[in-house]
């Protein structure tokens, strides 16, 4: 009876385990009986004592022909755990692939406000191009290409929680259609980063006018995002010449811009001539611009440009070209300009000291033939 109790105790560990054959952990195939894993020494010794208590314990390894063994079951369990581990690693790699990615979700457009760096002129939302965009979004049930927003530091009084980084037209279309707008969400974004992303996204779409770009650049400099136009150009990787032309258009008087019907009609290649016309005779330029704006029908933008930059004034007398004085490096020292009535203006790039002022006075005295 005692021997039977010992046998029961020896094999009680494996009595209720599932019938799973031993498996080669590398090949994944069942092991032959001769290669079955060894029974732990303690169990082998206990079984031997139960059968022959007075004999020396000779065997320390038992080859069990049944799958119901503790080592075999443990091997199967470890194999299963290895598969689970590999699956966990695979899923973790998939999750890590999205680490740092922006979250996209549909937002209420009424909770989104335009960026303070917004560069879209209001007239852009009444163009045929915007109408087609709005129709495409309506037919698709929403914007397919998401906009991007950043979280506001605190909700606005009107309930706004997000500020647009880029995608003002898509947001406006969804707002007018009364449907949610698909948006990428970034919680934290400095103003300079927002400006760079907005400028590059608009440039890739190639639908931002020269005047709108100029307004955007001027606004960035006025708010101190960049210490100079040169550093702004480096930050957004744009040619300094294009930035200068865009800002020259944005600095034109409102009456001049209005003469073109819409600021969207102004072109980069017109910037230098319009700037020179404004410097040469601002009064004449404004008068011509107001006359054009009141005309019906209004002439084409190209015709407006030709009229505003013509060298002839109303009396038919040609205006004299400006005269410049420059130093050895090509920097302007002084400029002499004439208006349409022949009146001259001399401007110096640097302040004159007392000695230079006296010399200039003598030159004018000599020119006029009389002293001050």
Q: Determine, yes or no, domain membership for 163.
A: yes
Where residue 140 falls among pLDDT bands split at 50, 70, 90?
Answer: very high
Smallest Cα–Cα separation from 292: which of 310, 276, 269? 310
Q: Determine, yes or no, domain membership for 298.
A: no
CA distances from 173 to 106, 217, 334 (A): 14, 25, 51
Residues 6+ apart with CB under 8 A from 285: 253, 256, 277, 278, 308
Q: Determine, yes or no, domain membership for 238.
A: no
Smallest Cα–Cα separation from 172: which of 144, 200, 143, 199? 143
**Domain boundary pick from 35, 68, 92:** 92
Q: Determine, yes or no, domain membership for 359.
A: yes
Give the Cα separation of 15 and 75 in Å (integer).
Answer: 16
Q: Determine, yes or no, domain membership for 113.
A: yes
Please state, as a whole number, how many other Cβ atoms lie within 10 Å of the Cβ of residue 159. Answer: 9
* CATH number (domain holding residue 138): 3.90.1530.30
Domain holding 26, by residue range, is: 2-92
Residues 305-332: pLDDT tens digits? 999 988 544 444 445 667 888 887 778 8
Q: Which of 31-35, 120-124, 333-337 has the highest mean pLDDT?
A: 333-337
Q: Determine, yes or no, domain membership for 364.
A: yes
Consecutive H or E run containing 362: helix 354-368
Give the Cα separation of 250 and 216 in Å (integer).
Answer: 9
Where residue 125 falls among pLDDT bands split at 50, 70, 90?
Answer: confident
Distance between first and last Cα of the chain:
141
State both tokens at 40: 């732990």
- Residue 339 vs residue 231, higher pLDDT: 231
DSSP codes joined into one string, 150-193: EE-SS--TT---EEEEE-HHHHHHHHHHT--EEEEEES---HHH
Predicted local distance difference test score (pLDDT) of residue 17: 43
- Residue 349 vs residue 73, higher pLDDT: 349
**Domain boundary pick from 92, 123, 149:** 92
Predicted local distance difference test score (pLDDT) of residue 104: 81
Looking at every residue in the chain, the average pLDDT score rounds to: 76
138 and 188 housed in the same domain: yes
- Residue 8 vs residue 214, higher pLDDT: 214
192 and 148 housed in the same domain: yes
85 and 106 housed in the same domain: no
Q: Determine, yes or no, domain membership for 224.
A: no
Give the Cα separation of 144 and 31 in Å (integer).
Answer: 56
Q: Residue 215 burial (CB < 10 Å; 0-12/13-18/19+)?
A: buried
**Domain boundary pick from 177, 208, 239:** 208
Predicted local distance difference test score (pLDDT) of residue 136: 92
Where residue 296 falls among pLDDT bands split at 50, 70, 90?
Answer: confident
Q: Determine, yes or no, domain membership for 13.
A: yes
DSSP codes joined into one string, 131-143: HHHHHHHHHHTS-
117 and 175 housed in the same domain: yes
Q: Is the pLDDT of residue 184 over 60?
A: yes
Predicted local distance difference test score (pLDDT) of residue 369: 77
56 and 135 housed in the same domain: no
Write down the pTM of the prediction. 0.47
Predicted local distance difference test score (pLDDT) of residue 253: 93
State both tokens at 126: 């009444």
24 and 112 housed in the same domain: no
Number of folded domains in the chain?
3
149 and 119 housed in the same domain: yes
70 and 7 housed in the same domain: yes
Residues 6+ apart with CB under 8 A from 339: 280, 281, 283, 284, 319, 345
87 and 106 housed in the same domain: no
115 and 195 housed in the same domain: yes
């Amino acid at each position: 009876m005692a021997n039977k109790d010992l046998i029961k105790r020896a094999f009680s560990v494996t009595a209720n385990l599932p019938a799973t054959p031993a498996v080669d952990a590398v090949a994944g195939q069942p092991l032959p009986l001769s290669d079955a894993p060894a029974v732990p020494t303690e169990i082998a010794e206990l079984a031997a004592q139960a059968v022959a208590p007075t004999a020396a314990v000779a065997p320390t390894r038992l080859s069990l022909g049944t799958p119901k063994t503790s080592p075999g079951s443990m091997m199967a369990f470890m194999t299963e755990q290895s598969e689970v581990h590999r699956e966990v690693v695979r899923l973790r790699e998939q999750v890590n692939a999205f680490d740092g990615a922006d979250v996209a979700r549909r937002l209420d457009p009424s909770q989104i406000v335009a960026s303070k760096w917004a560069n879209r002129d209001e007239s852009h939302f009444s163009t045929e191009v915007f109408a087609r965009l709005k129709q495409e979004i309506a037919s698709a049930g929403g914007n397919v290409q998401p906009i991007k927003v950043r979280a506001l530091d605190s909700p606005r009084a009107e309930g706004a929680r997000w500020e647009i980084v880029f995608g003002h037209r898509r947001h406006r279309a969804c707002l007018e259609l009364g449907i949610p707008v698909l948006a990428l969400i970034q919680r934290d974004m400095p103003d300079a980063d927002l400006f760079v992303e907005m400028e590059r996204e608009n440039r890739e779409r190639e639908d931002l006018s020269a005047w709108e770009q100029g307004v955007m650049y001027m606004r960035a400099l006025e708010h101190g995002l960049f210490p100079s136009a040169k550093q702004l150009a480096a930050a957004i990787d744009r040619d300094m010449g294009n930035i200068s032309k865009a800002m020259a258009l944005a600095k034109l008087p409102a009456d001049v811009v209005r003469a073109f019907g819409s600021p969207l009609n102004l072109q980069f290649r017109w910037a230098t001539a319009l700037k020179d016309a404004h410097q040469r005779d601002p009064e004449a330029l404004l008068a011509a611009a107001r006359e054009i704006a009141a005309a019906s029908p209004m002439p084409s933008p190209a015709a407006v440009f030709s009229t505003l930059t013509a060298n002839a004034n109303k009396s038919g007398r040609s205006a004299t070209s400006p005269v410049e004085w420059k130093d050895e490096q090509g920097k302007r020292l002084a400029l002499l300009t004439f208006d349409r009535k022949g009146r001259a203006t001399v401007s110096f790039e640097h302040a004159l000291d007392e000695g230079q002022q006296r010399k200039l006075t003598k030159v004018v005295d000599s020119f006029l033939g009389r002293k001050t």
